[in-house]
Amino acid sequence: MKKDMLSNGFHGICSVALVALAGTIVPASAQDKYPSRPIELVVPWGPGGGADQLARKIAPALEKELKVSLPVINVAGATGQTGLNKMLTSPADGYSISIFIADTLALQMDPATKWKIEDIVPAAVMIRQPSAFFVAENSPLKTWKDIEAEAKKRPLKVAITGFGSADDLHVIYFTQKGLKLTSVPFAKPAERYTAILGGHADILYEQLGDVKSFLDGKQMRPVLIFSEARFPAFGNVPASFELGHRIAISQFRSIAMKAGTDQGRVKGVSDALAKVAATDDYKAWLKDQYADEKSFIPAAGAVAFMKQELETMRKYAPKK
Amino acid sequence: MEGILSNLAVGFVHVFQPVNFLVLAIGIILGLLVAVLPGLTLVMGVVLALPFTYSMEVIPAIILLTAMYISGTYAGAWTSILFHVPGEPIDVPLLWDGYQMARKGRAAQALGWTLLSAFAGGMVAAVVMVLLAQPVARIALTFSTPEYFAILFFGLSSVVSLGGSSLTNALISLFAGLLIATVGVDDTYGTHRFTFNVPILSDGIDYLVVMVGAYGLGEVFLRLEQGFKSVPLDAVGKIRTRLPRLREVLATKMTFLRGSATGIIVGLVPGAGATVSSFLSYGIEGQYGRRRQKLGTGIPEGIIAPQTAATASVGGAIIPLVTMGIPGSGATAIILGAFLLHGLQPGPQVFQTSSHIIYAMFASVFVGIVVMCAIGYFATKYMVKVLAFPEVIVSAYVVMMCILGAFAARNNITDVWLVAIFGVLGYLFERFKFPITPLVLGVILGPLAESSFMTSMISYSNDWTVFFTRPISGPIMLIAILTLLYPVFRRMRQRMKQRIASQ
């Protein structure tokens, strides 16, 4: 084991040298076999959040399938754009792939956004989860009714990941209905959860699975779940549709590659992901995360899925 | 209390099992390596080690990462002191007094103070972590973005005490650093700033490139001009880490205490880790230290303050992680990931359900610090011999480390060009008596300060008074502003005196 450890410590430096060599001297031979060196998996969000957990879950399984290591790198900021930029500024050779989630896709509604959905190719959608509004267990606001009443009197702060995200759209939807809600962006999950537990924000928008530890630890509770029907594990929490709020943008998390990457390489990654998603271990994890058990969508269907999700978001977005 | 001690005893039993102890030793050594290499930051090192823990049992997995975290806050000081290349951003404050001390031929003493500081800060924080985890955890929750901003503002305002002779030059340097930090996609609204449609610039300028270039290469360029010479050291071969005498330690006990307390509190806060605590502690020493006037000239206090705080922040950051499931720093966020991967959810319930794992982690902090200091003591004995090498050769090695470090950060050749540019900039700064530190400080702390400022403004509907009216952020802001104004007042008073004297 000691040997493994040391070789890992050395790995960074060796791979640096290899990258330099492969990039300048032998570009042709590098294309023959894919993957032939480590693939960097960019997480455009801080460690500990849902995107990070997905990356940490699939990286080891994917390493077994692809037979190369997949170092996971967290590059948080700008609703996932800082990390996405990191992937998009790398060569389109399939050696830099990124987690791509609904929050970042939602930015496409702003025409000023510098990147286009066509700049990326999804390899697969890995997980789809319902989102919810949460309050701290010790908050004076106990139910959605309490929040509705209070938000008509004073502005309530909602901790979200970033402006323009799906989180933000849900908040905007309710402000249009006359509730005084203010989105406050916290890109790092730790800061978002501190905000709600420390009483610095009133409401948290998050996926159920991401705050499982806080739900189990009786620190937070869901007050409104965004879905068509009630969620079995939280039978006493209303679903948005039953209250007449027909809004439920699914939080999906996918693996994306840079557009222009060789089709065969995208398919290679997509097929490997399909194998990972089919394992019992992964299915059990989905259940544990309160996710849709049919979450997985391969590369072929993922583009259409994302375009449709974007349509749904546009429908709910505020008219400018 | 007894319950805590018996739990901790069980924790020690876990740590001293052969496999676990081996993992701990490996973790300590890996952490030391990561800290020494400027291209690999501490958090990056822990991230790289994480995949190896997938197949491990949960206890060795946590011990490995915790051990790396502890020693990662220590060894970067060696390169700061010996080569003027900070191994981690944490170690930037050690350049001032630590490197000065080494230049005066007292490298062994500087390393000795570093060792003792890491030991003391780490141990104090570990004791607080074990005994007071539950009550202290609540402090972390009272901190919100205005408090983060106040802490960072204080850190930035400390440039005054670090700026040396000219306040104006220090401020120019600081603002240049802040400007460099704004390049890239902004964190709050995703606006592209100063990117000029160059893809690599939209990724931002890494503080690592600035730090390594301005300090490492800048120093080498300066020597190129002045001519290389060997450090005035007599009989380097006889030198080994010289631990300070008890009398010297007692004389600086307040610095140890302040440093440890700063480290623990900053560690607790989710937005800040070892780097912020190290800068902040040095700044506080510059305000309240008994020998604050001499700070920066190579006195032990300038080593003790940042190093105790950096290592103490480990214990501080672990507290909110285990009691609430909120990581207090970048490295603890990765450790949280390791917990989650093993199906363990840190939080209030974990003390009931899996207390043996938590106490094994606590125990590994104590044992880790001892192992780290033992390795450090014997390693530094050989490290100081580097000073006997001709400076030309050491400089060549420094240049190599700088270039490797710049490339390793993002695997991008543009960063190597950037490091060269910042090397020249660092040289020019040094040549024309502009301090480099404020520049680097601006680049490291600027983005953190900006995002906490923006979030506060959004959160409190653009009411800027919030920074002054909240009970914790208010006093910190006030102290920071007084720090900024003090040199101006001092100069005005001096001029008045001169005028009176000349009349």
CA proximity to B33, closest of B15, B17, B46, B16: B46
pTM for this model (two decimals): 0.74
B400 touches chain A (CB under 8 A): no
Residues in A closer than 8 angstroms to B48, CB to CB, are 8-9, 11-12, 71
A residues 95-114 near B, CB within 8 Å?
107, 113-114
**Cα(B349)–Cα(B357) distance, rounded to whole angstroms?**
13
Contact (CB<8Å) A155/B461? yes
The boundaries of the domain holding residue B133 are 2-502
Residues in A closer than 8 angstroms to B328, CB to CB, are 190
In this model, does residue B26 exceed pLDDT 90? yes
Give how many domains chain B has, as a whole number: 1
A residues 197-226 near B, CB within 8 Å?
197-201, 212-214, 216-219
**Cα(B148)–Cα(B171) distance, rounded to whole angstroms?**
22
Output the CA angle B44-B50-B54, nearest 5 degrees.
170
pLDDT of residue A26: 41
Higher pLDDT residue, B421 or A209? B421
pLDDT tens for A171-199 read 988 998 889 999 999 877 778 888 898 88
**Cα(B466)–Cα(A157) distance, rounded to whole angstroms?**
16
Q: Hey, is A177 helix, strand or coil?
A: coil
B459 touches chain A (CB under 8 A): yes
When scoring B32, B186, B187, B344 by the number of chain A Cβ atoms within 10 A, the one with the most, hence best to mutate, is B187
In this model, does residue A1 exceed pLDDT 50? no
Measure in Å the smallest separation between the Cα of A195 and chain B Cα atoms: 7
Measure in Å the smallest separation between the Cα of B143 and chain A Cα atoms: 8
**Cα(A21)–Cα(A14) distance, rounded to whole angstroms?**
11
pLDDT tens for B237-288 read 455 567 788 888 888 889 999 999 999 988 887 767 888 889 889 888 887 8
List beta partners, residue A257.
A121
- Listed in sequence order, the residues at least 6 apart from B475 whose beta carbon sits closer than 8 Å to its beta carbon are none
pLDDT of residue B51: 64
CA proximity to A132, closest of A31, A225, A266: A225
DSSP state for residue A106 in the 8-state scheme: G
Band (B21; pLDDT cuts 50, 70, 90): very high
Cis peptide before A35 (omega within 30 of 0): yes
**Cα(A184)–Cα(A176) distance, rounded to whole angstroms?**
17
In this model, does residue A90 exceed pLDDT 90? no
At which residue do the structure tokens 């999700």 appear?
A309
Distance of CA A93 to the CA centre of its chain: 23
Q: What is the mean pLDDT of chain B?
A: 83
pLDDT tens for A25-47 read 444 444 467 888 888 888 888 76
In this model, does residue A170 exceed pLDDT 80? yes
Residues in A closer than 8 angstroms to B340, CB to CB, are 48, 53, 56, 213
Q: Six-digit token pair at A48? A: 């500990």
pLDDT of residue A126: 87
Measure in Å the smallest separation between the Cα of B8 and chain A Cα atoms: 23
In this model, does residue A24 exceed pLDDT 60? no
A56 touches chain B (CB under 8 A): yes
CA gyration radius for chain A?
21
What does residue B72 show for φ and ψ, rounded to 5 degrees? -65, -20
At which residue do the structure tokens 């948080």 appear?
A76
Q: What is the mean pLDDT of chain A?
A: 81
**Cα(B290)–Cα(B380) distance, rounded to whole angstroms?**
29
Which class in CATH covers the domain with range A37-129+250-316? alpha beta
Distance of CA B175 to the CA centre of its chain: 21
Higher pLDDT residue, A111 or A47? A111
CA proximity to A70, closest of A88, A84, A54: A54
pLDDT of residue A283: 87
Residues in B closer than 8 angstroms to A190, CB to CB, are 270, 326-328, 333
B residues 304-343 near A, CB within 8 Å?
320, 324-328, 330, 333-334, 336-337, 340-341
**Cα(B393)–Cα(B399) distance, rounded to whole angstroms?**
10
Domain ranges of chain A: 37-129+250-316, 131-243
In this model, does residue A249 exceed pLDDT 90? no
B414 touches chain A (CB under 8 A): no
Question: Which segment of A253-257, A266-270, B472-476, B484-488 scores lowest on mean pLDDT?
Answer: B484-488
Q: Please tell me the CATH code under which domain A131-243 is placed.
A: 3.40.190.10
Q: Under a CB-based contact definition with an 8 Å cutoff, are residues A98 and A87 in contact?
A: yes
Q: Hey, is B8 helix, strand or coil?
A: helix
